[in-house]
Structure 1
Amino acid sequence: MENNFTFEGKVILVTGGATGIGAGLVRSILSENARHVTFLDLAERESEILERELKNKFGTLRVMYIKCDVSDEKQMNEAYNKVVDKFHRLDIVINNAAILCAEENLYKRMVDINFTAVISSTLKALATMAVDRGGSGGVILNVSSRLALTPSDSLAVYSATKAAVLQFTNSIAINKSYSKSEVRVLSVCLGPTDTAILHKHNSELFDKGCTQCFTSQVPERQRVESAVKGIIDVIKKADNGSTWIIAGNKPPVDITVSVREGVQNRCNDTSGS
């Protein structure tokens, strides 16, 4: 357990950082005296406004916006290289970028952004930060959803991408020995949160043409601030390979054992087939 972990002096990269939880993370991490935060997003107007605000508050060297389509591996690699070339290190990566569309529209785009980009970013982060590859260690946190844990008939593709993120993250954490890499790989499953992803009129911030986002059937949305605080707390204290739920404006709950036992039970149930 990393009880003494601090953001102070760290170099951090956040995907999907222009609005909502991503923007909240960028602000909070800078407030925790991080050396620098780079955030990636396609929403230029919102990103530039945020970058200007934070440069005025924290200083021009503390924050940088890079326009990046995270589903484009070349753009992702260029963004990583720009950060490492400038600061000669990378300590924390938070893969937060996601879109939510009606399944019949842009489902391939949803898979590319919500899942494939997480793979690309995670592997690039490991190659950059792992001690056994010349890095200094660090933390990778991948943002999943409570929908990864419960099937949804109305959001099948979105739920599937988030379940894939959860499974991929847990597998990477097992296969990549923390004792060698010194990179903790973590996942959080967020409950419904009051962000633009749940508001139809803001869907263009995420993807052109994504106009039928999920806007109803959400009983209780937690505040963005609650989700951000929960993610910050998890990064500070969580063990490698652990999974946490952050929902209902409550502190993070460790569900690692339940997730692992659930997977193991499914394997046992099918072992004779």
Structure 2
Amino acid sequence: MDSVAGKVVLITGGAGGIGLAVVKKLLQSGTKGISIVDISDESGRRALDEIVATFGENKAIFIRADVTKKTELEGTWYYLLFILLFVGTRGFNNAGISGEIEWQQTLAVNLVAVVEGTYLALQTYLPKYKSGEEGLIVNMASICGFHSFQISPIYCTAKHGLIGLGKALGGEEFYKKYKVRVVTMCPGMVRTPLSEKTEGLFFPDLLQKEIGTLGTIIQAPERVAEGLIEVIKKGKTGSLWVIEDDQPAYEVVVPHYRTMKV
């Protein structure tokens, strides 16, 4: 259905964890060039050094930006337009943090910034500058978008929101208007610094108990990146994809609420 070969990609939160794993996998799969957006200069420069050492020069650029600030987020797209030759365009919204006490910032990064970035890509940049038949936006949610956990109600709220966003923007009318697929990835447990963070959570003593309900295998970020490549190829607009327990990604269909009556 689609391929990443020869495409140009912008990915937020691309300097570490799942984001950096996705960057490397995309380049291995033939992506033409990647714009890595992250708030950390240090992480961004380190990621760029890794990419140059493995893939050579002129495969990626790093843009330091706070995705919660609209002007900075807009600037990442303008920079990409002037630096890279567009052959086709893809956007990956991957930036994320955890934290329940300062919940406004958690929502700002995990939900509001993703909505902002998705709308910029969907309404402004992809329809105008893509040269292929369609564009693609992939938003990184979580299986926490299907479950509710006492340790992280705000994080779960954000991920529930991304699932609703992906389903709505993936509707037929949106696709006919913009010719952009919107796909949502929902990883299970992944071995990243974010998943190991306990400060700022409610009831930290419940962490292991609640995580234990999600499966037995903590995946490497590279496994999520591998699954993402397959989802790019076959994922229909509006679809939701879970990848967990080191197994292939599978599509999830949320039932109509009337079928869930008790």
Q: Give 1:206's aligned residue.
A: none
TM-score, normalization: structure 2?
0.88
The percentage of counterpart residues that share the same residue type is 25
Partner of 1:18: helix, strand, or coil?
coil
Residues in 2 aligned to 1:264 and 1:65: alpha-carbon distance in whole angstroms:
47
Does 158-167 or 144-153 show the bigger shift? 144-153
Partner of 1:196: helix, strand, or coil?
coil
8 Å CA contact 2:184–2:239 kept in 1: the answer is yes
Q: 1:252 to 1:51 in 2, by over 3 A?
A: same
Q: 1:248 to 1:181 in 2, by over 3 A?
A: same
- The residue type paired with residue 19 of structure 1 is G
Q: Give 2:126's aligned residue.
A: 129
Does residue 24 in structure 1 map to residue 25 in structure 2?
no
Residues in 1 aligned to 2:184 and 2:256: alpha-carbon distance in whole angstroms:
16
**RMSD between superposed Cα atoms in Å:** 2.0
Q: Give 1:74's aligned residue.
A: 71
- The residue type paired with residue 109 of structure 2 is I
Q: 2:5 aligns with which of 5, 8, 18?
A: 8
Q: Give 1:240's aligned residue.
A: 237
Partner of 2:194: helix, strand, or coil?
helix
Q: Give the 4+ runs in structure 1 shifted more than 4 A.
A: 263-266
- The residue type paired with residue 113 of structure 2 is A
Q: 1:74 to 1:175 in 2, by over 3 A?
A: farther
Residues in 2 aligned to 1:53 and 1:70: alpha-carbon distance in whole angstroms:
23
Partner of 2:4: helix, strand, or coil?
coil
Q: 1:100 aligns with which of 98, 101, 104?
A: 98
Q: 1:114 aligns with which of 107, 110, 121?
A: 110
- The residue type paired with residue 93 of structure 1 is G
Q: Give 1:216's aligned residue.
A: 208
Q: 1:37 to 1:134 in 2, by over 3 A?
A: closer
Q: Give 2:155's aligned residue.
A: 158
Does residue 48 in structure 1 map to residue 45 in structure 2?
yes
Does residue 61 in structure 1 map to residue 58 in structure 2?
yes
**How is 1:159-198 mapped onto 2 (pairs within 5 angstroms)?**
159-174=156-171, 176-198=173-195
Write out per-residue CA displacement over residues 36-85 of structure 1, whole angstroms, 9 at most, x where no aligned residue.
00111112212111101212332322101111111111100001111012
Q: 1:57 to 1:225 in 2, by over 3 A?
A: closer
Residues in 1 aligned to 2:162 and 2:151: alpha-carbon distance in whole angstroms:
19
TM-score, normalization: structure 1?
0.84
1:265 is displaced (CA, Å) by: 4.2
